[in-house]
Amino acid sequence: MNQYFLPKTGWEFFDVSRAYGLGILIDVLSGDVEISDMGGYYLIKTSGEPVFHRIDDIFTYFGSDDDWKMTLITIQRSTKADLKRGVIKIRNHVMKLFKDLDKIKEILKKFEKTEIKPPPVIGRGSQTLYQTLDLAATKGIRDEILLKKRYSEGSNINVSIEDFSLSIIGHINYTIRRFSDVGMIIVAPTPQATKVEDSMEIFTNLRNAIKGVHRAGWFPSLAQIATNLVLEELRVEEGGRFAPKFSSLIYGVMMRTGNQWKPLTGGIFPLDFLHRIAESKEAKDVLNKWKDIFEWTAFRKGYEDLPTALANFIANPSLSNYERYIRLHLRNELDKNRREFGSYEKKVLEEVIKNVGI
């Protein structure tokens, strides 16, 4: 068993995408990779030894032109335009790194040490870290502003080309990126004994299921992604039992103002409640009902209240949120002019409420 340790910098999105990128690289070379969030670092385990002549297989994870456009939207500006010169230049730099076997060996050696090294220092390196890779990079490092000195936005955030390359490959393959008329939502789950082989299929299905940002806003979009993700986890049960593959969702939301993208908000969306529901034989079928509610209301006007209440309940399963959601659900069922989603059986409600806090 070979183990690799990737220390966190504290930049959540940058860290998780680097972990996935390193996991993909090791899976290409060794196979049978498992990625886990261990708190202060990410652990990547494999039972195989690296076979370096397989390195060209890494380019199957480079995605399409559209993936690069969305991942670097702050310099691409528009997904409808051809790839901008700046995006092509960055992609070529990343490709050059992964073609350099000596660099690849250095990367593996850097992370295979049994003692956990200090994380890379943010701000040092030759490659700009863009807003889409971590919202915290948006404004750059502000220079010290002294009394009567001119205001400065500061310089760009720079990182090493090695860390950047791992991050962008992880970002392309392990994030859900969806647009609305005014913004963009970026979501990545944190790994929990996540096997690369299983998770790639999960993400393919998840991307196909989530067509865009929910009409009710970015928060119901997060709940929709979370619900679909847990259903995918159920589909790949191990040994007939439910084994969660992800522990939470890291997300960032950007708004478009003219030709510029600005950060709106970011954070962590919990999966604990959905996992407890998935573990219940009586209640797990309710996940399909919630999936149906989010999916059907996603692009229909007049239904914004129901998915919003459901999203708040999933993220914070308190008694008050539960009551609000159930009232809206019942009101919807009694309105002959609205689409019915079906009532809940008593035993299902009782099982759900066992996981509801005060």
DSSP 309-345: HHHHHHHS-BHHHHHHHHHHHHHHHH-TTS----PPP
Query: Same domain for 73 and 194?
Result: no
Query: Which ranges of 31-156 would DSSP assign to H, the alpha helix?
Result: 65-71, 73-76, 85-99, 101-111
Tokens 């220092």 sit at which residue? 121
Q: Residue 205 domain-assigned? A: yes
Which stretch, 95-109, 224-238, 278-292, has highest mean pLDDT?
A: 95-109
Report how far residue 9's alpha carbon sits from residue 12's, in angstroms, rounded to the nearest whole number: 8
Q: How sure is the predictor about 90, in pLDDT bands with cuts at 50, 70 and 90?
A: very high
Query: Same domain for 167 and 297?
Result: no
CA 242-244-249 angle, 5° bins: 150
The whole-number pLDDT of residue 97 equals 96
Q: How sure is the predictor about 123, in pLDDT bands with cuts at 50, 70 and 90?
A: low
For the chain, how are helix, strand and coil distributed in percent, rounded to 5? Answer: 50, 20, 35
Q: Are 226 and 271 in contact (CB under 8 A)?
A: yes
Q: How sure is the predictor about 217, in pLDDT bands with cuts at 50, 70 and 90?
A: very high
The whole-number pLDDT of residue 340 equals 83
| Segment 138-158 mean pLDDT | 59
Query: Same domain for 218 and 239?
Result: yes
> Tens of pLDDT along 224-252?
999 999 999 988 865 567 788 899 999 99
Q: Residue 12 domain-assigned? A: yes
Q: How sure is the predictor about 208, in pLDDT bands with cuts at 50, 70 and 90?
A: very high
Query: Same domain for 240 and 132?
Result: no
Q: Residue 28 domain-assigned? A: yes
Q: How sure is the predictor about 35, in pLDDT bands with cuts at 50, 70 and 90?
A: very high
| Segment 255-280 mean pLDDT | 90
CA 42-58-113 angle, 5° bins: 35
pTM reported for the whole predicted model: 0.91
Question: In this structure, what are the phi and psi dihedrals at residue 78, rounded to the nearest 5 degrees?
Answer: -135, 135
Query: Same domain for 220 and 157?
Result: no
Share of residues in the chain with pLDDT > 70 (%):
91
Say yes or no to pLDDT of 146 above 80. Answer: no
The whole-number pLDDT of residue 119 equals 64
Query: Same domain for 245 and 203?
Result: yes
DSSP 48: S
Distant-in-sequence contacts of 257-264, Cβ < 8 A, 24+ apart: 259/77, 261/73, 261/74, 261/131, 261/132, 261/184, 262/138, 263/131, 263/135, 263/138, 264/183, 264/218
The whole-number pLDDT of residue 58 equals 97
> Tens of pLDDT along 40-57?
999 999 999 999 999 999
The whole-number pLDDT of residue 176 equals 94
Query: Same domain for 159 and 11?
Result: yes
| Segment 75-85 mean pLDDT | 88
Tally of structural domains, the chain: 2
Mean pLDDT for the chain? 89
Say yes or no to pLDDT of 31 above 60. Answer: yes
Say yes or no to pLDDT of 94 above 60. Answer: yes
Q: Residue 295 domain-assigned? A: yes
CA 86-129-80 angle, 5° bins: 40
| Segment 280-295 mean pLDDT | 89
In 116-244, beta strands by DSSP E = 127-128, 158-159, 176-179, 183-191, 194-195
Query: Same domain for 164 and 225?
Result: no
Q: How sure is the predictor about 153, in pLDDT bands with cuts at 50, 70 and 90?
A: low
Q: Residue 53 domain-assigned? A: yes
Query: Same domain for 159 and 215?
Result: no
Q: Are 23 and 168 in contact (CB under 8 A)?
A: no
Q: How many residues does the chain have?
A: 358
Closest to 41 in 3D by CA, of 146, 133, 113: 113
Which stretch, 115-124, 154-163, 322-331, has highest mean pLDDT?
A: 322-331
Query: Same domain for 109 and 193?
Result: no
The whole-number pLDDT of residue 114 equals 62
Query: Same domain for 289 and 346?
Result: yes
Q: How sure is the predictor about 355, in pLDDT bands with cuts at 50, 70 and 90?
A: confident
Report how far residue 97's alpha carbon sits from residue 94's, in angstroms, rounded to the nearest whole number: 5
The two tokens of residue 192 are 């929990």
The whole-number pLDDT of residue 354 equals 86
Q: Are 262 and 273 in contact (CB under 8 A)?
A: no
Q: Residue 237 domain-assigned? A: yes
Query: Same domain for 169 and 82?
Result: yes
Say yes or no to pLDDT of 175 above 60. Answer: yes
17 vs 157, residue with greater confidence: 17
- Dihedral angle sign, alpha carbons of residues 207, 210, 212, 217: negative
Tokens 């066992």 sit at which residue? 354
Question: In this structure, what are the phi and psi dihedrals at residue 355, rounded to the nearest 5 degrees?
Answer: -105, 15
Say yes or no to pLDDT of 358 above 70. Answer: no
Supply the range of the domain harboring residue 184.
175-358
> Tens of pLDDT along 300-331?
998 999 999 999 999 999 999 999 999 999 99
Q: Residue 147 domain-assigned? A: no
Q: Residue 326 domain-assigned? A: yes
Report how far residue 194's alpha carbon sits from residue 38's, in angstroms, rounded to the nearest whole number: 12
Spatial CB neighbours of 257, under 8 Å, sequence gap ≥ 6: none
The whole-number pLDDT of residue 91 equals 97
- C-alpha distances (whole Å) from 51 to each of 25, 28, 55, 57 are 11, 9, 8, 11
